[in-house]
Structure formats: structure tokens, C-alpha cells
Chains A and B, each alone.
Chain A
């Protein structure tokens, strides 16, 4: 079938306004927020419903055309890029909150809603969700769950995936699946488990390889009476990690963000939420843990409070340094120090001009982040960054790291590192079963 016929059939599903093959529009979908080389799709389609997505996937399966789901296009690992051409399917028109159920403490929303919108509406009603991604102004619910979603709230609420009670997913065949208790046609989604295997988990972290999430039900929580923030500095990395571990395993804070790790100084913010009495109690405990470590200093609450008040915007200001290649992965506490030095050594050896190292602490370890910035016109620096990223990903897997957002950036490394394992064989077998024509976000995760 020629492209014109495909375009017509897609237009027949979504309407002519919401599909295009115009080159200058396709061009805007060739990149994400990272450093992956541009990849050109053949079409971009903007469906408005689960039903339309189902029809698109049926068509794509019939014609064996790849389909690449894309939310806000604000991730850094190339997960939404058309590495084999095909159809980029943008979910931003699916942007409604479908139900706020105050009885069960759940919110159900469409996959293309951005977090800023979701959280703002909930806050106006006195509620919040557990995990708030730093890219909340652009990032979407479906894309975040697919990765599996970290953010501010990591210690208390772990990952976005842990907040999910059920999903609505369109499989590559076009079949629509509800997971969690909503699998029972007589039930709403109020609990993740019970009817059989936890199929929700299949789609968390799988980055669209097994299907497209179109709706999700998350837990929500009463908005806390008080949110306390305090900034600390310390110069010794080992001491810092000991602090993070002690606070995290006692679950004393909502999150610890460590935006700056340099050889001279580590800066970290703690966020404690709850009712006033709780916050006062946890604050004392947390301060005692931190300040008994030699060299630890409080920098007060003003700076982190200022950041917090305008946090979603401020998160973007970090990239005044340029577009960043990112290597993000989870590690247990006892590997964090070694990883920090190892990543720094690679970046220094490659002569990377500007980089940042950060951590976002989890209950059992931390997300370890390296950002390699460059001015996009600087092709030489870009090439250095691409080479350093490859080496850093290899090293991260050797250290036992578990990549957070994998996209296409980590694909080949994962395939090589996990290739002989039962986990890989099962992942591939599921892929073949659900997606025999390999249309669903091919190359992502290395599957």
C-alpha cells in the first residue's frame, strides 16, 4: 500500500486534521529532549480516544507498520523516536481526568494528561498523587508509567508504577485490556490485585513495547497539612550516602533530592510532609541524623522553599547549560559511591565540558543521574557525549545498575548484557506473543 493510501486510512480513523505526512511537521517529531540522533517517522497521528488507538493498531498490524507512542516528547532516551519509520502516535489529545473517587482515594485519567494539569486539579480539591516527575509541565501520565516513573516523592511513594492500581491498554492487535479490579466488567478499578496475575506490571516500565497505555488509575492522598523543606551540604560522599540510607530505610521523609554532587560539595534537600505533629517529629529525627555526621551543615529552608514554590519551571532552568545526554539508573546504597567516581572518571576522560551528577534517593538505594550538557550547535562535543554515554551505560550495567528510562539509548546494551538470561527470554517471548509483527515501538528496550 502506498503512503497516500495509508494516510487516507489513518484520516478515516482520526479525521484529516489529526494525521499528517507533511515533512516540516514530521521534522518536529524526529527528536526528544535528549541527544539521540534524529529519526524520521512517515506519519504523525493524534488520536482522541482508546477506540481510535485500537483501530490505528489494527491497521498498523495489517500493514506491518511500526507505531511509536509519544506523550510530551520530553524524555531523554529516544523512546518516542521512529527508528524504523512508521507512525508516531501522540497521546496529548487524551488529556482528561475521568474520575476523582474520593471514597476509594483514586484518580483515573487519560494517558496524555500532563502531570502539572493532573496535580493542579487534584490540589484544588485537597488531594495529591504520590510521585511528581520533575518534567511535570510537559510529561504525560502514560509515558511516565511506561518508564516506570520516578520523581519527587520517591522515598515515601517509591515509583509511579507503585501508585498504579490499574491500566487500560491497547495491545498491538488492537484488543483493549483493563487491568486491576477493572478487569471484571462489573467493577471499577480500586485494587491492583485479585483476579489473576498482576498484568498491570507487564506494562509498567515496558515503554510501549507491549502496548499503549490509554488510561490509568492511581492512588491519591489528602494534601498534607504541612510540607517542610530544608537544604543541607556535606563534603564527603560516603557520609552523604550513609545519611541517605539511614533516612530512607526509616522512611522519614517524602523525598531527598541531591541536585549537586561535586568533589567539593554535595547539596541535598529533604522534603517532609504530613500533619503538623508528624512533621515536627520527623524533622527533629532527620536533622539529628544529618547533623551528627561530620561536616554536614544546614543551609536553611529559604532556598529549597523558593525552588519548591516554582518547582516545575525551575526544573527546566537546569538545562540552561544545554541539551543533556542522560545516564540514569538505580543502584543499591553500597554501590553509589563507586558509581559516582566511575561515571565522573569516564566523563573527565572524554573531556566533557559541562556535566552534572545527581541522586534521587529511593527506599532501597538511589536513582543515580549523570547529565552531559552541550550547546546543540557544538558537533564535536555532541560526538564526545555520545561516546561517553555508551561507555557509561556499559559501566552502569556492570555495576548492577537498573536503568530508569531506557528508550532506544539503552536497547543494545540491555540486549547484550541480559541476552542469555531467563528474564530476557521471557521478555522476548511475551513480545512475540503480543506483537508477532513487531510493530509496537520496535527497538525500544532492545526487545
Chain B
């Protein structure tokens, strides 16, 4: 994998602009860097050097090397602020894939892989009674794919979305079975398990024959939209839509007043990786009386929530510190609610907002829209 990026790895001029800016809406370029011991290998410049060393078999691979290779959220903030425009997060993902292929894996990630292989989700077996949504026909033109994190850890996103789609009179069905899009495997470099998982999930979707697959998770969206066809050679004929794209034309003029100061958190995959910045903002602005206030770091500059890239499972403390930093940015706007549209961001923020004792409510876009429609 890394050899595909050989030219880009050598393109790095070692300028160091990928560390911290404190300028133009960017504080730490690398969200993880401030919460590490801060050596060069804790941000992109040093990580590119690690990738080159791995590619050229220049150095012994130690446990510490492997740990640092995975101590990154793959948020792409370094790509967005690299003057040479190096695809840095793709290099770091490829470094992980090469390490995995050589037999290196973090214990937390081993559990994720095993859970996905066995239970088709990263979190393991379901406990207790399986929740059932309203009975729906197996086939419909729209398939809502809640994804594993929403289904297992942020169920209210799915229930709000289902209620919302019903209120809008949409002909849709829901993939209730455990099925992972595979994106968590992509992030932790598990390319062979990813291919098997993606193939199974795609079969499940295609059995239902949808025209549109609707996601509330940017990772699922990116997986279906680009990862499957471009990286895995898995072609499909359905259209993929993120909930914000889907809702925008449907909800305008149908939303009730909502008196609140709200800020929008751009999930890294939705924003930097997929370029969806405007749709969720337009939906929020379409809510009468809602005051949308931007954070210091927003859109391309948005600070990561800390959960991505397998960080939440492998380095939960750092992931929590990054989340608190973002929550503090949100609170500094004066907003009382942070709205986002990613179950991983939602989960990590929910986890840390009480811990940080911040007077801030975390909501998913589907939740707030469902409240006012």
C-alpha cells in the first residue's frame, strides 16, 4: 500500500506547517498532538518519516512504533493545511495497512476485527432483547442503513431518523440486521477483512434492491460512495445519500420555531473527506428562530472530535481530551446545543460533555429536525 504513495511521501518538504497554527481558525492542525508527549512523530511531518522508514524497511518495527502509527484520528486536517497538498491521511492509512499485513495489530483493534468477523459489528454480541422498529416491507426504494455505531451505541439517531422519514411520508425500509460498512476496518488497516465484510454488507443491501441508500453515518456514506467502488472494486447501482443531502429539499418551509443558540460540528469524514459543509448548515438555518453560531475552527478547519481512526477504542483517553477541546470551542460560541451528524462524534461528545462539566447538549441533525418537523 505505502509503495503506491512513494512519490507523495518524498514530496514532504518537512516545513512543519502540520503541527499547530493558532491562525485563521486553526489551532492544532493535528488534534492529537497536544495530548501526546509531542515528539515529531506525534504529528504529520514525523509520521510521514515513519511511513518512509516502514516502506524502505529502514528501521526495526517496535511496539512503540506501531502504537504511534495508530495514534492518529485520520481526520485529514493535516492534508487540508499542507502547502504541498500531500494526501497525508491516506498515507497514514496505508502505513497501517502495511503494518497489519506484516502482522502488527493493537489489542483493542484485534477485538474489533474479531467482533466484526463474528457478529458483523465492532461491539460484540447484542445483549438483551433485540429492538424492533415498526414492521416494514423488506423492499422499498429507499433503504435506511443506520450502521453499526448508530444501531449499537447511538440508537436515538436511528429512531429519530425513522420517525422523521415517516413524518415526511417516505417509502423506506431499514436494514435491521447487524451489518458493518467496513469503514472501521479500513481505518485500522484491516484490508482483507474489510473486503469480506464489505462484500457481505453489499449483498444484504442489494437483496433489498434499493434505489437510494440513506445513511446518518459519514463513514458508511464514504464507504459506499468511494471506498467500495474505488478501493475494493465493489460496484453497485444504488445512489448513496447522507441524511443532510436527503432532508434539505424536503424540509424547507416545514420546520417549526426553535429558540436556541446552536453550533454545528463538521464531522471530518462528512466535511474534509466528502466536502459536505453546506447542506446541514442550510437545514439548521431553515429552522425559524434558531441561531446558528460557528465555532472558531469550522468547515475545512474543523477540529476533529477525537473518535476517528480507531482512536476511541485504542486510545480512549486521548480521544476524550480531543473531544473536550472541541466541546470547549463549541461552548465558547455561547451555544447551548452542539449539533452534528456522525454517530462516532455524537458518542464521543456524549461521553465527554458531562465529564468536562460543560453546559452543552449534544444532538444529531436527525434529532433536532425530528423535534421541529
Contact partner of B59 among A27, A44, A117, CB < 8 A? Answer: A27
Contacts of B59 in A (CB 8 A): 23-24, 27
- Contact of B19 with A72 in the complex, beta carbons under 8 Å: yes
Kindly identify which residue among B13, B14, B23, B83 contacts A116, using a CB–CB cutoff of 8 Å.
B23
- Decide if A46 touches B39 in the complex (CB within 8 Å): yes
Chain A interface, DSSP helix/strand/loop, else mixed: mixed
Contact with A along B8-47 (1 / 0, CB 8 A): 0011111111011111100000000000011111000110
Given contacts A137-B21, A312-B23, contact A27 B13 (CB under 8 A): no
- Mark out the residues of chain A between 70 and 92 whose CB falls within 8 Å of any chain B CB in the assembled complex: 72-74, 90, 92
Contact with B along A131-168 (1 / 0, CB 8 A): 00001111000000000000000000000000000000
CA A31 to CA B53, docked complex, whole Å: 14
Within 301-332 of A, Cβ neighbours of B (below 8 Å) are at 310, 312-317, 319-320, 322-324
Q: Closest CB of chain B to A210's CB: distance in Å?
A: 25
Taken together as a complex, chains A and B put the C-alpha atoms of A20 and B22 apart, in Å, by: 27
Are B37 and A319 touching (Cβ within 8 A)? no
Total of A-B residue pairs, C-beta within 8 Å: 117
For A314, the chain B residues whose CB sits under 8 A away are 83
In the assembled complex, the Cα of A18 lies from the Cα of B274 at a distance in Å of 37
Chain A proximity of B123: nearest CB distance (Å): 32
A276–B20 Cα distance when bound, in Å, is: 34
Could you give, for residues 12-34 of chain A, a 1 whenever the CB lies within 8 Å of some chain B CB and a 0 otherwise?
Answer: 00000110101111011101110
Asked whether, in the complex, the Cβ of B53 is within 8 Å of the Cβ of A114, the reply is no
Pick from B17, B23, B49, B53: contact of A117, CB under 8 Å: B23
Task: Flag if B62 contacts A137 (CB, 8 Å).
Answer: no
Residue interface bits A102-116, CB-to-B below 8 A is 1, else 0 = 000000000000101
Q: Which of A23, A29, A312, A317 contacts B60 (CB 8 A)?
A: A23
User: In the complex, which of the residues B14, B21, B60 has the most CB atoms of chain A within 10 Å of its own CB atom?
Assistant: B14
B7 interface residue (CB < 8 Å to A): yes
Chain B stretch 263-321: residues in CB contact (< 8 A) with chain A: none
Please, which residues of chain B bring their CB within 8 A of the CB of A27? 49-50, 53, 58-59
> Contact partner of B49 among A28, A136, A320, CB < 8 A?
A28
Closest to B15 in A: A316
B64 on interface, CB distance cutoff 8 Å: yes
Instruction: Give the distance in Å from the alpha carbon of A303 to the alpha carbon of B10 in the complex.
Output: 30
Any B CB within 8 A of the CB of A422: no
Q: Choose from A93, A319, A377 the contact partner of B83 (Cβ within 8 Å).
A: A319
Assembled-state Cα–Cα distance A376/B17 (Å): 18
Closest to B22 in A: A117
Check A120 against B40 for contact (C-beta < 8 Å).
Answer: no
343-399 of chain A: CB within 8 A of chain B: 375-377
Bound Cα distance A28, B59 (Å): 12
Are A120's CB and B39's CB within 8 A? no
Asked if A323 and B14 make an inter-chain contact with CB atoms under 8 angstroms apart, the answer reads yes
- Given the interface pairs A46-B39, A93-B38, the reply to whether A313 lies near B81 with Cβ below 8 Å is yes
B contacts, CB < 8 Å to A: 6-7, 10-17, 19-24, 37-41, 45-46, 49-50, 53, 58-60, 62, 64-65, 68, 81, 83-85
* Inter-chain pairs besides A28-B49, A28-B50, A137-B21, 4 sampled, C-beta below 8 Å: A17-B37, A24-B41, A28-B39, A138-B19
